[in-house]
Amino acid sequence: MNQQRDPKLPLLAVLMAGGGGTRLWPLSRPAQPKQFLPLIGGRSLFQLTVARLREILPLENIFVVSNSQLMPMIRSSDAGLPQENLLCEPSPRNTAPAVAYALAVLRTRFPRFVMACLPSDHYIADTKQYLALVQAARSLAGQGYLVTLGIEPTAPATGYGYVEQGDRLDSVDGLPAFRVRRFQEKPTAEEAKTMLAQGGFSWNSGMFFWRSDVLEEEFRTQQPAIAQALERMAGLLERKDGEATWKAVWETMPVLSLDYGILEASDRVAVLPARGLGWTDIGSWDALVELYQAHPELRGDAPGGVIDVGSQSVTVIRKTDSRRHLATVGLRDVIIVETDDAILICQRGKSQDVRKIAGML
Amino acid sequence: MNQQRDPKLPLLAVLMAGGGGTRLWPLSRPAQPKQFLPLIGGRSLFQLTVARLREILPLENIFVVSNSQLMPMIRSSDAGLPQENLLCEPSPRNTAPAVAYALAVLRTRFPRFVMACLPSDHYIADTKQYLALVQAARSLAGQGYLVTLGIEPTAPATGYGYVEQGDRLDSVDGLPAFRVRRFQEKPTAEEAKTMLAQGGFSWNSGMFFWRSDVLEEEFRTQQPAIAQALERMAGLLERKDGEATWKAVWETMPVLSLDYGILEASDRVAVLPARGLGWTDIGSWDALVELYQAHPELRGDAPGGVIDVGSQSVTVIRKTDSRRHLATVGLRDVIIVETDDAILICQRGKSQDVRKIAGML
């Protein structure tokens, strides 16, 4: 492993924007997933993710991997990304093939770089701290580590994977860093409590940083089928008649996540634990409502046509210009979400079951 | 008072159908009040009221007092009432003027009769028992009493007026009858509990029976302005050019209820307490939901487009052909009512506040 610093390597951000969640049904749909919903003061998490990165990166350094269904939404967003930075997956194969594809494309433009592989559907309150962490992660990745940003747990959550800290590394830009001892998939409530009590665990944010050559090497040693496909794609991507062929190559790759395919078995993974970042993946209506209650200014304009008598802690999410009456009487801790073709009425604390609704439809 | 029986007097039913409640908003509206909603297996309380009476009365003996806005609904119902039995109030003046008007009209067709003055927006489960009570009330009215059907209280309800029993009268058709000691307007919770514990109280059902000449006499002695208007109306109603004049006479009558204007101060009021009649005035969504839970067969076809995960005791009232999704998650004891232009989401036990919603609109 090349542990020497290489601060001159460019940082390229690859945003994962192909996900089609069901947890914010009925607002999120396959054709309008969470990252493109105007959840934060009328702006989308995708827009906010690009805006955060724009503070330290030129647009040319920001890439998006998504699918053909969502590309029009990305193009019409005001993010302003160059057309050639929008990478379209032929079909969904999870994150490992998506990142291999991005690596194949980015290598044609940059000989060597640090790649930040980032979800586009998370909310981060403290941009300044976030950017400091990105720079620290970039430095650590420059040393040859596969770096994950960890989020210090504030509760024994069962909806996230966890990262256990191992040996302490030298601080980076004054921030503590650790080797990763192990990854723990979404735990039971019991396991989560134990980890929280024990300390030294972070939530796995899914924000990864690595050097291009280090990632290539990991693919070669751990996922040779992907490494081979990556090389074939790289050649085909430069040929005008290569499209049909590279799509066929794409289909040869396993459906595999980066976590499972690369990170869990690698011996050079590091974690930068972040505290007080104000991070949330808004993985449920409960999470969004908690965010709105903590920061009312994020909500944007009030929904239209809502009347209440005697309810407590009811959140209504519907269009601001709704004129159809929506009346609530005596409710407590309820979330109501209305779209043109559906209405959800959900008890707070139960919104993890919303995905079952989407599954039933 | 003429206490001798007069069993040969005809029975004429006068249905009060002019009310425009707000307690079942958003289903009930001024133009479509409770009595015309298809609440019971797709039939309306108005239809059911007529159908009950048809078992013992010819259609010619059933009259309706309502207003011009609601008349088309009465005509298009399948009740089959003769056109000349539909009496249209020029403006709302509560029940005393309405009954005086009915009396003026009915006197032109029947010289002497027993009038049953009945709400058309109540539900009664046991028709057989109801009809036996009607016949007993008819007999008691024939003796010269102003008769009210009392409902034996099953709970310390604060939504009804109460009737206190006085001296016991001779049984009528085997049913116990009492003089009325006093009327108690809708009580406080405390008063209601006291009355229930004390016994000898009934809910005031608003179903009244009296002989035509007895009612006339009560108007003359207690409400001379109404008695005078009644006489003037009676003359005008027989003239073709009398309509404009009788509407002017109508407006001279006080806005007054029968309870307050006649019954409370009369010394010849009797009550027939009914037990187990399965009576409810469906005065709230809670009352309707309780009825549906006790008798699921009354509900009619299931609402369309409803999905649930993990809720308990949720009732959804919407069209059977609704295709827009309505999903509930983890709710408990909630009533949801949807129409084309409104949706109500109400905690069970709080539906008495629904009228406030209608007031706010």
Does the beta-carbon distance from B330 to A345 stay under 8 Å? no
Q: What is the pLDDT of residue B8?
A: 74
Backbone phi, then psi, for A197, in 5-degree steps? -65, -35
Counting one residue from A and one from B, how many pairs have CB atoms under 8 Å apart? 116
Give contacts of A307 with chain B, Cβ < 8 Å.
Answer: 357, 360-361
Mean pLDDT, range B220-225, rounded to an integer: 96
Give the mean model confidence (pLDDT) for residues B95-109.
94
Cα gap A150→A227, rounded to integer Å: 27
Which residue of chain B comes nearest to A307, CA vs CA?
B357
Cβ of A357 and B329 within 8 Å?
A: yes
What is the spatial distance between Cα A38 and Cα B102, in angstroms, rounded to a whole number?
61
Q: Which residue has the tokens 């109500």?
A: B344
Contact A310 B343 (CB under 8 A): no
Note if the bond before A156 is cis, omega within 30 degrees: no
Of A329, A344, A351, nearest to B350 by CB-CB distance is A329
At how many degrees (to 10) do helices B243-250 and B224-237 cross?
Answer: 170
**Using CB atoms, which residue from A328, A349, A353 is nearest to B309?**
A353
B243 and chain A in contact, CB less than 8 A: no
Evaluate if residue B4 carries a pLDDT over 70.
Answer: no
Per-residue pLDDT, B7: 53
Nearest Cα neighbor of A32 from B122, A24, B69 is A24
**CA–CA separation, B12 vs B116, rounded Å?**
6
DSSP A277-323: --EE---SHHHHHHHHHH-GGGS-SPPSSEEEES-EEEEEE--TT--
Q: What is the mean pLDDT of chain B?
A: 93
Exposed (0-12), middle (13-18) or buried (19+): which is A220, by Cβ within 10 Å? Answer: middle
Question: Cβ B341–A325 below 8 Å, yes or no?
Answer: yes
pLDDT, residue B193, reads: 96
**pLDDT at A330 (0 to 100):** 98
More confident residue, B136 or B79: B136
> Which among B317, B322, B340, B343 is the top mutation candidate for probing chain A, defined by the most A β-carbons within 10 Å of its own β-carbon?
B343
State the DSSP code for B59: G
Tens digits of residue pLDDT in B137-176: 999 999 999 999 999 999 999 989 999 999 999 999 999 9
Phi, psi of A38, deg, nearest 5: -80, 65
Mean pLDDT of B225-239: 88
Residue A7 pLDDT: 53
Position of tokens 């008349």? Answer: B71
Q: Are B208 and B147 in contact (CB under 8 A)?
A: yes
- How many percent of chain B have pLDDT more than 70? 98
Chain A environment of B310 (Cβ under 8 Å): 350, 353
CA distances from B51 to A111, A151, A199, B42, B225 (A): 88, 69, 74, 14, 35
Determine the distance from the C-alpha atom of residue B249 to the mean position of all C-alpha atoms in its chain, rounded to a whole number. 26
pLDDT at B51 over 70: yes
Compute CA distances A347 → A281, B7, B277, whole Å: 20, 61, 38
CA distance between the termini of chain A:
50
pLDDT on residue A314: 97
- B359 touching A (Cβ < 8 Å): no
Q: What is the C-alpha to C-alpha distance for residues A29 and A322, in angstroms, rounded to an integer?
A: 20
CB contact under 8 A, A326 and B342: yes
d(CA B318, CA B339): 6
Collect all residues of chain A within an 8 Å Cβ-Cβ radius of residue B26.
325, 327
**What is the rounded CA–CA span in Å between residue B59 and residue B80?**
8
Of the candidates B25, B26, B330, the beta carbon closest to that of A346 is on B330
User: What is the rounded average pLDDT of the residues B201-207?
Assistant: 96
- Spell out which residues of chain A touch residue B337, defining contact as CB-CB under 8 Å: none
Q: Which residues of chain A have pLDDT under 50?
A: 1-5
Nearest to A354 among B25, B324, B329 (CB): B329
Beta-carbon separation of B324 and A343 below 8 A:
yes
Alpha-carbon span A20 to A95, nearest angstrom = 13
Nearest CA to B80 out of B51, B100, B109 is that of B51
A336 touches chain B (CB under 8 A): yes
Nearest CA to CA, how far is A304 from chain B (Å)? 12
pLDDT of residue B131: 97
What's the rounded Cα separation, in Å, for the pair A87 and A71? 9
Mutate: best of A307, A325, A338, A355, partner B, most B CBs <10 A: A325
Question: B312 in contact with A at a CB cutoff of 8 Å?
Answer: no
Q: What pLDDT digit, counting tens, does each position of B323-342 carry?
A: 899 999 999 999 999 999 99
- Tell me the C-alpha distance between A90 and A244, whole Å: 10
Phi-psi group of A40: left, alpha or beta (phi > 0 → left; psi -120 to 50 → alpha; rest → beta): beta
**Crossing angle of helices A224-237/A212-222, nearest 10°?**
130
Please report the residues numbered 163 through 222 in chain A whose beta carbons come closer than 8 angstroms to any beta carbon of chain B. Answer: none
Using alpha carbons, list the distances in angstroms from residue A151 to A275, B151, B219: 6, 65, 82
pLDDT at position A236: 86
Q: Collect all residues of chain A within an 8 Å Cβ-Cβ radius of residue B325.
A: 26, 341-343, 361
**Mean local confidence (pLDDT), B201-216:** 97
Q: E-strand spans in B95-247?
A: 114-119, 123-124, 146-151, 162-172, 175-184, 201-211
